[in-house]
Amino acid sequence: MSTTTTPLAPAPPARRGRRPNYGRYGLELVMIAAAVVFLFPVYALITLAMKDPRQISESPLSPPVPPTLANFGDAWTSASLGPALLNSTVITVTSLLTLIVLGSTGAYYLARCARGLGYGLYVLFLLGIVLPFQLGMIPLYKLVDDLGWLGTYQGMVFFYTGIQLPFTVFLYTGFIRALPQDYAQAALIDGCNHRQAFTRIVFPLLRPITGTVIILNAVFIWNDFFTPLLYLGGSGKETVPVGVFSFVGQYVSDYGLVFAGLVLAALPILVVFLLLQRYVIKGFAGGLKG
């Protein structure tokens, strides 16, 4: 009786030890250093806002022990941040709504409905992005003055809409070109006109780029200092940056109040950014595909 033997499988080669990825470690160290550089001003801002004058004079950058929140209440009252926040909110929200309506509808026309004319108009909008608005500050101021809108909300909304509309149209146009046209064409076949197809089909698909438009324009409008100082100075409708500026000049020796006022001024737009930041990458990615 013969027996058959199966050949043994060859032994696997011995694994070599992995070499440490020094490039990856170096990149991580660079990113950590960059994070420290960017976070240090935030740490200093919050730390100084939660210290009394004695703690600031002794050790300005050490952690506050014990922390105090009295500076925030004093800054809110002394800087009249309540009316300033209301003014900034009204101007920012109204400008954003106007930009979204005009920018999205104009971009839909440029991306889908227009032919040769659409390309020329699109180039004009691009020129509006390239040219700095400071070149037209004097004519714009004269125009707003002739309209009787100096010191009013509508003057600021008119200014911000005109300045930010080219950038808004640019973002929306790139995103709409990347969207498939099947849904809108199906709506047109079913009897919808272009306005109905846009409002019912296309605009709900623009949620990522709309979030990007809101964040970028809101940060610019909320943080703008020069334009409200020029258009709203002395009207009682000054925005947060102008209110903080006057407050800093009045309480320049009390750094706790100054930094508490800065924290309160930056907090609303920071919350909006944290809530909508995930739409920024989606919006730019969708636009780059087109």
Q: Which two tokens stand for residue 159?
A: 């200014």
Neighbours of 10 (CB within 10 A): 6
Kindly state the average pLDDT of the residues 32-39: 88
Confidence of residue 153 (pLDDT cuts 50, 70, 90): very high
- pLDDT at position 135 is 78
Kindly state the average pLDDT of the residues 233-245: 84
Confidence of residue 154 (pLDDT cuts 50, 70, 90): very high
Q: Check pLDDT > 90 for residue 19.
A: no
Kindly state the average pLDDT of the residues 216-232: 91
Confidence of residue 5 (pLDDT cuts 50, 70, 90): low
Residue type, 87: N
Q: How far apart are CA 49 and CA 45, in angstroms?
A: 6
Q: Check pLDDT > 60 for residue 286.
A: no
Q: Which position has the higher pLDDT, 117 or 208?
A: 208
Q: How far apart are CA 84 and CA 285, in angstroms?
A: 36
Q: How far apart are CA 219 and CA 146, in angstroms?
A: 29
Q: Is 233 left (phi over 0), alpha (psi -120 to 50) or beta?
A: beta
Q: How far apart are CA 69 and CA 115, in angstroms?
A: 60
pLDDT mean across residues, the chain: 82
Q: How far apart are CA 241 and CA 224, in angstroms?
A: 7
- pLDDT at position 94 is 96
Confidence of residue 70 (pLDDT cuts 50, 70, 90): confident
- pLDDT at position 185 is 82
Q: Check pLDDT > 50 for residue 6.
A: yes
- pLDDT at position 290 is 47
User: Which residues are within 8 A (CB) of 187 and not within 5 positions of it... i.e. 6 or more apart?
Assistant: 196, 197, 200, 201
pTM: 0.80
Q: Check pLDDT > 60 for residue 11.
A: no
- pLDDT at position 221 is 94
Closest CA to 209 of 274, 273, 268, 276: 276
- pLDDT at position 288 is 47
Q: Which position has the higher pLDDT, 156 or 184?
A: 156
